[in-house]
Amino acid sequence: MPRASREASERTEREIRAQARRLLVRDGYAALRVDDVAAAAGVTRGAVYHHFENKQGLFVAVLADVHESVAAAVADAATGEGWDALDAGCVAFLRASVAPDVRRVLLTDGPAVLGWQEWRRLDAQGSQRLLREGLDALDDLAVDVGAATAVLSGAMNELALWLADGGSTEVALATLRHVLHGLRASGR
């Protein structure tokens, strides 16, 4: 029997990731079974292991997809220039991070399964990179760009966790905007 084409293999991998994401959102990492992912994707268990070394490798791929989807939401929202673009991107990050199809994988299982350092590395490749670019583009930032990126990224991650635990969106956005205002050089 001939080997699957590259396109078919990529399609299969995408479907496995999509079904794993659906199951992770519904049940969480601890309850995820490779056999269930395979059945949902319409492939064999061996096919899952062909594309992903193990359950954690599958999770890392799904988490990377989730980070990419949050970063895409930020990039889509942060059009324009200056503080308005930064504000829109930060709001989009919060909204995307607490969306039902993201929250559990990104905020709960991600740090627990991979550890905080690895989770932060993935975040740094997506949303945090966009945040730094947005801050770097400002000509009236009152503080160092690197420090501002660290502070704002950490604050927004914690704010997303607070929102996921039932915090008020209105209060979260007002607080975020207050923090952003504090980063501006005075008198401008």
Residue 110 token pair = 């991600």
Question: Which pLDDT band holds residue 3 (cuts at 50, 70, 90)?
Answer: low
Measured distance CA(87)–CA(107) in Å, rounded: 21
State residue 111's pLDDT score.
92
State residue 99's pLDDT score.
92
Percent of the chain past pLDDT 90, that is, above it, reads 80
Specify whether 29 is located in the same domain as 70: no
Assess if residue 99 is contained within a domain: yes
Assess if residue 187 is contained within a domain: no
Measured distance CA(54)–CA(7) in Å, rounded: 22
Assess if residue 188 is contained within a domain: no
> Of 6, 60, 12, nearest to 32 (Cα)?
60
Assess if residue 119 is contained within a domain: yes
Question: Which pLDDT band holds residue 1 (cuts at 50, 70, 90)?
Answer: very low
Specify whether 42 is located in the same domain as 66: no
Specify whether 44 is located in the same domain as 94: no
Total number of domains constituting the chain:
2
Q: What is the CATH number of the domain that holds 8?
A: 1.10.10.60
State residue 4's pLDDT score.
60
State residue 188's pLDDT score.
47
Assess if residue 47 is contained within a domain: yes
State residue 123's pLDDT score.
86
pLDDT, tens digit (0-9, with 9 covering 90-100), for 22-66: 999 999 999 999 999 999 999 999 999 999 999 999 999 999 999
Specify whether 91 is located in the same domain as 155: yes
The mean predicted confidence, pLDDT, of the chain is: 92
State residue 187's pLDDT score.
43
State residue 127's pLDDT score.
87
Domain extent, residue 143, equals: 61-182
Look-up of token digits 């670019």 = 133
Specify whether 88 is located in the same domain as 8: no
Specify whether 32 is located in the same domain as 123: no
Specify whether 48 is located in the same domain as 70: no
Q: What is the CATH number of the domain that holds 171?
A: 1.10.357
Measured distance CA(160)–CA(169) in Å, rounded: 10
Specify whether 6 is located in the same domain as 70: no
Assess if residue 33 is contained within a domain: yes
State residue 62's pLDDT score.
96
Specify whether 75 is located in the same domain as 142: yes
pLDDT, tens digit (0-9, with 9 covering 90-100), for 62-79: 999 999 999 999 999 999
